[in-house]
Structures are given as structure tokens and as C-alpha cells.
């Protein structure tokens, strides 16, 4: 059995090891030379690891700046499905009202999601996770959820990632301290 003293020593040592890492993440978050995609990727990683509460203020400032920039550009997100879903999910998870219209560029003339986006399982997982953040009346996200659920179910036997996300979508498993 481990004594209380040993546990306290270990916790103290772990806290000492964490401090420089917290400062390193903070320095990365205030690095103004990062482009928008890299900033959002960094925020995504920090939130995924469940350590966003260490740098909540810096993340909020960064998200405010990016959201203001996107709002001034009519929420036109440059990039592919991966970039769009990641940015949409991060903003929605952090309480920003980003419009679901950012996904229209991935639909055909009938408003259905283009079959061509089915080629990348990771992108489909990201769209599935983003679709879970819909609010009432967002038809495009309702369609995205149906589209991605059908796709993920069709590959679930051969894809561990598909089985995992269908059973435990990211928004159900994430630690969102501060929200």
C-alpha cells in the first residue's frame, strides 16, 4: 500500500513538471505569427487533451479575434471539410453562434451532401461530431448527421474509429472546463 506521504510527494513532483508545460502552451497560444488554421488546431488539441482550463483566458481572446475576423468575412472559412468542421465545432463548443451555412459548400444543387466527401473517414467523423452541435431548425446539420451516421454505420464492421465515434461522440466525452 502506498503511503499518504509518497502520494503527496508524487503530486508535488507532477505539479512541478506541469508548470513549464503550461507556460509553453500559453506561449504558443499568444504566438501571433500562427495562421488561423494553426491557431484553431492548437485550441482543438488543448481542448481535446482536457487542459484548456489552464489557459482559458488566452483561448477566449484568440477565439474572439478569429470569430470577429470570420464574422467580417461573412463566415467564409477557407479550406477543406476538415478545417470547416474543426472550426465550426470549436466555436460552437465555446458558445459562439457560428452559422451552419459554412457547410453549404459541401452540398450539391439539391442541398444534399456531396458523395465525394465520403472518401475520407476522418472528415466524416469530424462532420458527424460537428452535426451533434446543431440547434433546432438547422436542416443542413440534421442532414449531415443522417448522412454521416449512415456512412459510419456502413463501415463500422471494418473501422474501429467509426465504431468508437458512433458509440461515444466527442461532445459526450470531452472535458469542457470553464463552459
pLDDT, tens digit (0-9, with 9 covering 90-100), for 140-166: 999 999 999 999 999 999 999 999 999
Q: Which three cell numbers stand for residue 52?
A: 484548456
Instruction: Provide the percentage of residues in the chain whose pLDDT is more than 70.
Output: 94
pLDDT of 179 over the 50 cut: no
Q: Look over the chain and give the mean of its residue pLDDT values, rounded to a whole number.
A: 88
3-state secondary structure of 42: helix
Integer-rounded Cα radius of gyration of the chain: 19
Asked if 55 contacts 25 with a C-beta cutoff of 8 angstroms, the reply is yes
What residues contact 166, with CB distance under 8 A and at least 6 apart?
149, 152, 153, 156
pLDDT digits (tens, 9 = 90+) for 55-82: 899 999 999 999 998 887 778 877 899 9
> What does the chain come to in residues?
179
What residue spans of the chain are helical by DSSP H? 4-29, 36-48, 56-72, 81-93, 121-131, 139-155, 160-167, 170-173
What would the CATH number be for the domain defined by 4-173? Answer: 1.50.10.130
pTM over cut 0.85: no
Amino acid at each position: 500500500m502506498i503511503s499518504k506521504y509518497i502520494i503527496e510527494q508524487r503530486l508535488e513532483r507532477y505539479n512541478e513538471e506541469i508548470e513549464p508545460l503550461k507556460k509553453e502552451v500559453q506561449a504558443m497560444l499568444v504566438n501571433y505569427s500562427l495562421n488561423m488554421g494553426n491557431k484553431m488546431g492548437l485550441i482543438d488539441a488543448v481542448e481535446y487533451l482536457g487542459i484548456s482550463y489552464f489557459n482559458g483566458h488566452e483561448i477566449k481572446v484568440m477565439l474572439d479575434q478569429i470569430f470577429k475576423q470570420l464574422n467580417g468575412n461573412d463566415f467564409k472559412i477557407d479550406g477543406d471539410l476538415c478545417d470547416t468542421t474543426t472550426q465550426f465545432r470549436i466555436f460552437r463548443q465555446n458558445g459562439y453562434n457560428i452559422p451552419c451555412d459554412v457547410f453549404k459548400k459541401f452540398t450539391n444543387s439539391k442541398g444534399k451532401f456531396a458523395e465525394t466527401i465520403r472518401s475520407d473517414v476522418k472528415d466524416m467523423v469530424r462532420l458527424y461530431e460537428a452535426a451533434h452541435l446543431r440547434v433546432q431548425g438547422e436542416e443542413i446539420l440534421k442532414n449531415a448527421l443522417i448522412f454521416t451516421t449512415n456512412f459510419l454505420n456502413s463501415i463500422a464492421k471494418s473501422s474501429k474509429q467509426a465504431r468508437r465515434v458512433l458509440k461515444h461522440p466527442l461532445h459526450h466525452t470531452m472535458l469542457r472546463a470553464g463552459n
